[in-house]
Structure 1
């Protein structure tokens, strides 16, 4: 027990030193003090939570509302990833927010092994969240590793939202996660993603969680760190500013794909500039087509275009695309499905028309049957006392 308390105390000191380092870097840029605020999200009974929609309650830091979200732990997901997202109800355009922050997955057994991701981001209508890979799920679920202990995990966000967070213009598009020495071999692969999120306050939130908010003013010397190759993002591989209008529309989709599938970045590390541009542009075309097309749009021309793009990607890009393949196959199958749907709809129309005709004929038949019954009864009455004669017989007469 004493050892655990000592570890927690030691971790607190190191965390304070780290935040002082962050503040100092910003103070050197602007020559003034910087206030960081800390939000702690303690998730209890983790195994009983809805891990497909697990997120913190909205919290306010320096007048802005935020939320931390866990990447949905669905089937075939093998990583534990976290996101910081804007929680205010804001319009799609006309606003932006600079933030310098860290997201931390705390190690409850050894503070030195806590996993921290540090970055500066500019949030706006098109980029409302930033996330990163933290640990493999197998490591996270192993209680001996210290991240999930007694079915409880602890996540922290250290955040500064201010004009002080703005760096020089030539660094506006640069994300620099720091490889802290105290993280040791716990530094993990991560990549950047910005993803549009639902801003509604009624969105599902976790119930078994404890959250605290605190503020601290920090300062210390610059912490030097080297960007790991596994920490590179899409903007580190491509000159996004040189993209045309059409290609630029693919960027949010590509960034989202890269955070879910970091292998996309890793697979292009050694590729030439032009090959990277072709590979990601082609992937962007496929993602954009799937994102914006409706089932009814998948005619022969659209299917042929998608098939050609997909075939080239699979053969030459070097991407591992098994995660995308089912969706492409489904889209390519839409043409046959549309044809089958058209055939079924025509048969449905024929059935409806024949049913109407049958009802009409049945109505006419019922009327004829009623008329027949009336006529038959009249005939029965008319036959009473009636003697049939042979009208071909000669009438004749008698002489006596």
Structure 2
């Protein structure tokens, strides 16, 4: 960067910036810090304290929800202003020290770039309409006016819009009401996917997701939802998996019950075999010295035979 080639007193930058720590529960409690400062090599700023760390870590306060915080940053940087007290001869010496002609071209290019940046910044401040890459989700949805249920969509929408910027760009020229409906419909689908457990995907849940998905496709004219379709199909396919899993669990329980019964029968058989051996030995001992008689004959005959 050309500023790094200059000594600390040769450059400065005038910046206007605003940092916002979004309260995801109550937008009115979002913490905003805004300032305008001149930075150079001799000056460093450590920023400001936003709020107490304990309040930030407390999810009920709304600043850190599901291990996610949202910070908006708006920064406007003016052109690089060289110190007018430095003589042109000194600048030439610096250019020569840092690479002769190529260094001079780099300085001129940097100055031109910074002037263009300054012009862009000033014109964007004067304009009331947000255009192009400056278009943000907050320009579409007034977070403070959302209903409580709709406010729960915001962190999810911010996340997917960060991953898929085309979602916002595609709505740039749409009517305001159409934009709101589109993102609210998207938020409903995202919330469903984010809060519904796989085990709860029964027939009713599948029908609800189909309705939300159909509404989103009807209201989200311009959205490229190819990234979301696989997640919808997977969610709807969970019902089949649940049914298969339930059948598998039933069979598994049956096998376990049979195995327990088998083990019990084996133990009973082992005990019966042991009893059989004992009884057999007793029978053999009892037969020794025992004379059998015919119990069908008359007693007198049996006695004197």
Who is 1:182 aligned against? Answer: 113
Separation in 2 of the partners of 1:355 and 1:61?
69
Separation in 2 of the partners of 1:179 and 1:335?
57
Deviates more, 1:310-319 or 1:329-338: 310-319
User: How many positions carry a matched residue from both structures?
Assistant: 240
Q: Aligned with 2:71: secondary structure?
A: strand
Separation in 1 of the partners of 2:6 and 2:210?
57
Who is 1:254 aligned against? Answer: 157
Pair 1:263–1:304, CA change in 2 (3 A):
same
Who is 1:214 aligned against? Answer: none
The answer to whether structure 1 residue 336 and structure 2 residue 219 are counterparts is no
Separation in 2 of the partners of 1:316 and 1:91?
37
Separation in 2 of the partners of 1:393 and 1:13?
140
Tell me which protein shows more helix as a share of its residues: 2
TM-score by length of 1: 0.49
Deviation at 1:221, TM superposition (A): 12
Separation in 2 of the partners of 1:319 and 1:332?
21
Q: Aligned with 2:286: secondary structure?
A: helix
The answer to whether structure 1 residue 241 and structure 2 residue 144 are counterparts is yes
The superposition leaves residues 222-265 of structure 1 with CA deviations (integer Å, 9 ceiling, x where unpaired) of 95143541221011123333322222221221112111110100
Within 5 Å, which residues of 2 pair with 1:259-274? 259-274=162-177
Q: Please say if residues 170 and 223 of structure 2, whose CA atoms lie closer than 8 Å, have aligned partners that are also in contact.
A: yes
Q: Say which of 285, 290, 293 aligns to 2:196.
A: 293
Q: Aligned with 2:181: secondary structure?
A: helix
Q: Please say if residues 21 and 223 of structure 1, whose CA atoms lie closer than 8 Å, have aligned partners that are also in contact.
A: no
Q: Aligned with 2:225: secondary structure?
A: coil
Q: Please say if residues 263 and 320 of structure 1, whose CA atoms lie closer than 8 Å, have aligned partners that are also in contact.
A: yes
Pair 1:228–1:184, CA change in 2 (3 A):
farther
Separation in 2 of the partners of 1:87 and 1:257?
29
Separation in 2 of the partners of 1:94 and 1:387?
96
The answer to whether structure 1 residue 372 and structure 2 residue 276 are counterparts is yes
Separation in 2 of the partners of 1:266 and 1:240?
19
Q: Say which of 280, 291, 302 aligns to 2:183.
A: 280
Pair 1:6–1:296, CA change in 2 (3 A):
closer
Q: Aligned with 1:22: secondary structure?
A: strand
Unaligned runs of 5+ in 1: 24-31, 39-59, 66-85, 97-123, 133-174, 188-219
Who is 1:195 aligned against? Answer: none
The superposition leaves residues 127-181 of structure 1 with CA deviations (integer Å, 9 ceiling, x where unpaired) of 734379xxxxxxxxxxxxxxxxxxxxxxxxxxxxxxxxxxxxxxxxxx5767987
The answer to whether structure 1 residue 130 and structure 2 residue 56 are counterparts is no
TM-score by length of 2: 0.62
Separation in 2 of the partners of 1:344 and 1:273?
51
Q: Please say if residues 178 and 225 of structure 1, whose CA atoms lie closer than 8 Å, have aligned partners that are also in contact.
A: no
Deviation at 1:333, TM superposition (A): 2.0
The answer to whether structure 1 residue 20 and structure 2 residue 14 are counterparts is yes
Deviation at 1:282, TM superposition (A): 0.7
Q: Aligned with 2:14: secondary structure?
A: helix
Separation in 2 of the partners of 1:345 and 1:228?
56
Within 5 Å, which residues of 2 pair with 1:74-223? 90-92=56-58, 124-125=63-64, 128-130=69-71, 182=113
Q: CA RMSD in A?
A: 4.3
Pair 1:329–1:177, CA change in 2 (3 A):
farther
Pair 1:344–1:286, CA change in 2 (3 A):
same
Deviation at 1:271, TM superposition (A): 1.6
Tell me which protein shows more strand as a share of its residues: 1
Separation in 2 of the partners of 1:367 and 1:387?
32
Q: Say which of 223, 228, 240 aligns to 1:324.
A: 228
Who is 2:122 aligned against? Answer: 224
Q: Please say if residues 253 and 288 of structure 1, whose CA atoms lie closer than 8 Å, have aligned partners that are also in contact.
A: yes
Q: Which structure carries more relative contact order (alpha carbon 8 Å, separation 6+)?
A: 1
Bigger CA radius of gyration: 2
